[in-house]
Amino acid sequence: MSKPKVAFICVHNSCRSQIAEALGRHLAAEAFESYSAGTELKTLINQDAVRLMKELYGIDMEKNQRPKLIGELPPVDIVVTMGCGVACPFLPSKRREDWGLEDPSGKSDDEYIAVIKRIEERIRRLAESLKD
Name the residue among 3, 1, 17, 24 with its Cα closest to residue 77: 3
Cα–Cα distances (Å) from 2 to 29, 30, 109, 124, in that order, read 12, 10, 37, 19
Amino acid of residue 26: H
d(CA 95, CA 37) in angstroms, rounded, equals 17
Q: What is the pLDDT of residue 91?
A: 81
Amino acid of residue 120: E
Where do the domains of the chain lie, and which CATH numbers do they carry? 5-131 (3.40.50.2300)
Residue 36 has pLDDT above 90, yes or no: yes
Residue 116 has pLDDT above 70, yes or no: yes
Catalytic residue among 88, 91, 101, 115: 88
Catalytic residue among 6, 7, 9, 10: 10
Catalytic residue among 84, 115, 123, 126: 84
Amino acid of residue 72: E
Residue 27 has pLDDT above 80, yes or no: yes
In the residue annotation, 15 being an active-site residue is answered as no
In the residue annotation, 88 being an active-site residue is answered as yes
pLDDT in tens, 60-99: 999 999 999 999 999 999 999 998 765 666 788 999 999 9
Name the residue among 34, 46, 43 with its Cα closest to residue 9: 34
Name the residue among 102, 110, 127 with its Cα closest to residue 16: 102
% of the chain exceeding 90 in pLDDT: 83
pTM over 0.85: yes
Please state the separation of Cα 59 from the chain's center in Å: 14
Q: What is the pLDDT of residue 87?
A: 62
